[in-house]
Amino acid sequence: MQDLWSPVADGQVASAPVAPAEPQDPLLFAPHAEPQDSALPASAPPPAVTPRPAEPAPDTTAPPSPSAPPLAAAAPPSLSAIDYVGSGPPTYDPEPTALPAADPEGLEELVADTVLDGARYGACTLRAVSLRGDSARYRGEPRRDALLTARFGAGEQALVLVAMATGVRGTPGAHLAAAEACRWIGRAVGRSHHRLVEDIRAARRGDLKSGLHRLMDRSLGKLRASAAEQGIDPEEYTASVRCLLMPADPDCRTRVFFGVGDGGLFRLRDGAWQDIEPQVSTADTAGGSVVGFGSPPAKTFAETPEGDRLTMDFGIPTPPSPYEPAPEPPREPFRFRASVARPGDALVMCTAGLAEPLRGEAALCAYLARRWSGRTPPGLAAFLADAQVRVKGYADDRTVAGVWEA
């Protein structure tokens, strides 16, 4: 996939036509008339009757039209035949073991072990799945990953959103925070989808980046406010979020990614993986002011209201100053990429549960490259089977969305 506005360095990293069935000649299966037995004298013994095999029923199926063309469409990949790749079998059982504990007064908070979705709009086909990791399945913990797929608008003016989030490990409400983050993002994108479609079509990269940056900041701000209302530490009730925007217009092949936190963005082109995760600098993680986001960086040294410097900053921790509020914890950097797809590309966005084994296990990269290359996307069941091929040492939840370009 080639960037629309600026060149981006890529990172490391049909089956045969089915012939029509030959028509069967109805004459071969037509019943023939049985001869009538002649009358026999009463005194004569009955003749021996040789058993005759039953006649086949006449074939009433109309033969296919000779003018019908053969099926030329390539069949989608079959179901995955392997359970794992790598040095050996994973520690945990491949199937779910324990269900998460349920509160009778909070059944709406339960999440399914696996969520699977798909669609086809414009020139692309979407597949998306979110599933519990081996560790959570064994321990009876809820899936910390959340997945939201939505279409806003109709026809060629529609906008497709895929949002996925991962809650903080080891916190009781991690799955709730992830789901709430996806909902806030979905609401914000839905309310602005007309403007977003216009900006994507017109290639307004600057407007898209700044607008989506503010949208993400406000959504996560509402998540922090929700944590405060519940009396929860905002640093525990948060999530890593990754989103993909795709116009339904078949003439627009621009795909827009944005998010915060860990995960992966990959492109499969000509059978080879490319890691196209947007890179961020240390200035993006803390201190640097961004238009419409956060507050200006803290001063290098503390000052009194009169402007007197209390101490120089030699990198030595100092007691908190009554004139300077405690600094906020650094926020995750905002990641953004807008690029134009080529026919035959497959774009893969995923949470850290799949991004880490993709970057760390060459056998998984090779296997999924074979399975997902080409213009024929896998069916839903095949995509689920591929997404849950396991690797020893990686047992987290996995959420992945794949977009195949026709």
Q: 265 near 349, Cβ under 8 Å?
A: yes
Q: What is the pLDDT of residue 11?
A: 42
Tokens coding 401: 């969305």
**Domain locations in the chain?**
84-99+109-276+333-405
Q: Which of 28-32, 281-285, 318-322 has the lowest mean pLDDT?
A: 28-32
Which CATH code of 3.40.50.150, 3.40.50.10070, 1.10.260.40, 3.60.40.10 fits the domain covering 84-99+109-276+333-405? 3.60.40.10
Confidence of residue 68 (pLDDT cuts 50, 70, 90): very low
Contact partners, residue 271, CB within 8 Å, separation at least 6: 369, 370, 373
What is the rounded CA–CA span in Å between residue 241 and residue 216? 9
- Confidence category of residue 29, pLDDT binned at 50, 70, 90: very low
pLDDT tens-place string over residues 354-395: 999 999 999 999 999 999 998 899 999 999 999 999 999 999
Residue 50 has pLDDT above 60, yes or no: no
Question: 381 vs 121, 265, 267, 385, CA distance in Å?
Answer: 20, 22, 22, 6
Contact 242, 401 (CB under 8 A): no
Chain segment 194-238, per-residue pLDDT in tens: 999 999 999 999 999 999 999 999 999 999 999 999 999 999 999
Residue 400 backbone phi and psi in degrees, to 5: -145, 140
pTM: 0.73
* pLDDT surpassing 70 at residue 280: yes
- Residue 173: the pLDDT is 94
Mean pLDDT of the chain: 80
* Mean pLDDT of the region 41-58: 47
Distance CA 314, CA 298 (A): 16
pLDDT given for residue 313 in this prediction: 44
Q: How far apart are CA 240 and CA 244, in angstroms?
A: 14
DSSP β-ladder status, 398-405 and 124-131: antiparallel
Q: Is 80 exceeded by the pLDDT of residue 283? A: no
Give the model's pLDDT for residue 47. Answer: 45
What distance in Å separates the CA atoms of residue 130 and residue 147, rounded to the nearest whole number?
Answer: 6
Distance CA 15, CA 87 (A): 31
| Residue at token pair 């079998």 | 89
Which carries the bigger pLDDT value, residue 177 or residue 45?
Answer: 177
